[in-house]
Structure 1
């Protein structure tokens, strides 16, 4: 499949499905944290997904060990991926989840800025910047009131989440601008999963986390959902999309994830759904339409 300059119905449908899965993942992580330490949970997720994606690649006879110039970019992407999740979990110890979401979802802007230098064929027009800004306003409508509350030491966590957003963008740009763009989605993902599994497990040990402390069925079900559907299936699909479609246009869809995460929390965890949720959904949807019309 040759690279495309616009998103077609297949890409839009896949992104809607992926954002829904990533939104539900937020509720799954909360459930999993009731019995598994957060960084250890992330490490287990990467380790389990490494096994599944490797098995899937072997079943499909995807070449994984040929010399194709992806080793060093792949290791770089893996380190960026691991550092991103480490900053997310560490940053959330200092700031609230809702503040963290605001800063994490500045990532599409960093992708767009990096694309100006690294991806000359993906230059953003004024309408695309406007659409992304409108979508970000939707996220602010949903979570922005938390920025006005006394922060204390929250600025430390906020900076970590901004760093995580930059690393997320750097991972996307590394995949798009190097030899990784020419390899399979499975191999592209395995670099990141294998490296992050090792780094996150070691980090959890250094932090002194207890690991699995309440292994009830719901906790294991949550972890299984993250391993099978999120870290394996959805990430393979995401990196396949990055390989074939413009990264800047795909990134604009990521603003849907926090809104869908709040909706999932209301449906799965009984959390309150306010009018701001639906206003945010409308703004994000309008912004995505403007950015991709």
Structure 2
């Protein structure tokens, strides 16, 4: 049996890194016209509507509530909607109002490190091998080199310490969401993704309206940023991650978090005129080395 992810999955993983890396820039632009919780509510709702449209076009039904297994699937979708969408989107949107985007980026690289012990404890058959541990820390060291110590310097905000905890909390949420996804009973994963976004929207829309009220129509740039966040990093990303998780496994999928800070820096340099850090190529070497090491396998004796 061939355990290689294949060229198609590598291409999808790269594309996921690109669109998720650009989401930090999009959140910064969206914050110019929307409050944080409203951004989270809008992107999840746009993503849910898109995936529901895809399900309708493909003739795929949402999971049923009539059976015990169906109710368990919806319970998992509720957990995914909360831990993979509603809570981390809100934490990151609020956190980026008080901390540098570099710190938010490095927090995303912590997700695989959270997944590793959680999967070891909660997912049957998942063991924390020495090779996995080394590969994750090699990739994470590349992210630290890329971001540098500037990401951890204070910006003088009264809420900065709490915002840093919020960004770290978001990475923990993503890790918990991935564990819930892996423990969910067998079901059409596209339907599960749509159900998760639907649950997330059902939680975020009332919360955003209660906390921040009805948003006013902003200028074109923040509105375009929110639409981007809903269509690509939320809706399309859900479709792609489902495909990768099903064909190559969630461990391979989790390594996308090492790419996100790299693309965040690249987009900042190309589109916002930020200076490209000189350590970028060293960091990319470490990150790609961690990715390769995480997928390498020793040949078994015949």
TM-score range, shorter chain: 0.7 to 0.9
Residue 277 of structure 2: aligned partner: 274
Deviations 1:172-208 (A, max 9, x none): 01001121xx222222212221222233333333443
1:186 and 2:184 correspond: no
The alignment partner of 1:7 has SS state of coil
1:167 aligned to which of 152, 168, 173: 173
Q: Give, in angstroms, the shift of residue 224 of structure 1.
A: 2.6
Q: Is the 8 A contact 1:100 1:157 kept in 2?
A: no
Distance (whole Å) between structure 2 residues aligned to residue 115 and residue 187 of structure 1: 24
Matches within 5 A, 1:164-243: 164-179=170-185, 182-208=186-212, 211-212=215-216, 214-216=218-220, 218-243=221-246
Distance (whole Å) between structure 2 residues aligned to residue 117 and residue 97 of structure 1: 32
In structure 2, the CA distance between the partners of 1:285 and 1:209, relative to structure 1 (3 Å rule), is: farther
Deviations 1:213-238 (A, max 9, x none): 5332x333333322222211121111
Q: Is the 8 A contact 1:20 1:260 kept in 2?
A: yes
> Structure 1 stretches of 5 or more lacking a match?
none
2:93 aligned to which of 65, 83, 89: 89
In structure 2, the CA distance between the partners of 1:221 and 1:86, relative to structure 1 (3 Å rule), is: closer
Residue 43 of structure 1: aligned partner: 41
Q: Give, in angstroms, the shift of residue 151 of structure 1.
A: 6.9
Residue 34 of structure 1: aligned partner: 32
Distance (whole Å) between structure 1 residues aligned to residue 216 and residue 281 of structure 2: 36
The alignment partner of 1:80 has SS state of helix
After TM superposition, the score normalised by the length of structure 1 is 0.88
1:258 and 2:256 correspond: no
Please identify, of 233-242 and 85-94, the stretch whose mean Cα deviation from structure 2 is larger.
Answer: 85-94
Deviations 1:87-124 (A, max 9, x none): 22233344332223223421111111111123333434
Residue 22 of structure 1: aligned partner: 20
> Structure 2 stretches of 5 or more lacking a match?
297-302
In structure 2, the CA distance between the partners of 1:122 and 1:29, relative to structure 1 (3 Å rule), is: same
In structure 2, the CA distance between the partners of 1:271 and 1:147, relative to structure 1 (3 Å rule), is: closer
Measured on the aligned residues, the alpha-carbon RMSD in Å equals 2.4
In structure 2, the CA distance between the partners of 1:79 and 1:173, relative to structure 1 (3 Å rule), is: same
After TM superposition, the score normalised by the length of structure 2 is 0.85
Deviations 1:150-182 (A, max 9, x none): 476533222222221111001001001121xx2
Distance (whole Å) between structure 2 residues aligned to residue 214 and residue 155 of structure 1: 30
Q: Give, in angstroms, the shift of residue 210 of structure 1.
A: 7.1
